[in-house]
Amino acid sequence: MKILPGLTRAAAAGFVAVLLLGACGGGGSGDTVKADYTDFCLLAAELNAETEAAGTFSSGTIGSPEALKKVMDSLTDLSERLLLAAPEPAVDSLEVLVDVVRKRNELFAVYQYQLTEMAADTTARVRLEEITSNPAVAEASEEFASFMEDACSFDRP
């Protein structure tokens, strides 16, 4: 299912990867957490649960602009909390990924979380693709996935 009609497959994949913050959606058990990172890994698991609860971003699964706003605000808040709690090895990559979450939420807000209106607007689709398809985002996602795999035993998506 496409996030927004007209998005390229790569942009949609980038959107989902960023939404999952690279590795938080891997489904690992998290049983082998390095002691220094326990709180961080628990917060990452909370973000993962919130992301999975949100489902696919489409007007059919979110239900309403109000519901989408609530989900996006929650994901942004959790992402920012994750960044604040991040251990030094994860900070640089997480800053890039959280910035994408913020920018995406800001773009959704411009359209008042109306996915149909966003889908109809070429400018919105282009902007969303610019936000999510930046090579720095892919690099940060890979770095963060590697960190999460090592520090929290999260499987790669």
Domains of the chain by residue range: 42-152
CB hemisphere CA count around 74 (13 angstroms)? 16
56: nearest Cα among 4, 119, 128? 4
Residues 6+ apart with CB under 8 A from 117: 111, 124
pLDDT at residue number 122: 95
pTM of the predicted model, to two decimals?
0.73
CA distance 28 to 100: 24
Tokens in use for 126? 């282009």
Most confidently predicted of 45-49, 71-75, 117-121 = 117-121
pLDDT at residue number 108: 93
The residue written with tokens 């326990």 in the block is 38
Across the range 76-87, mean pLDDT stands at 90
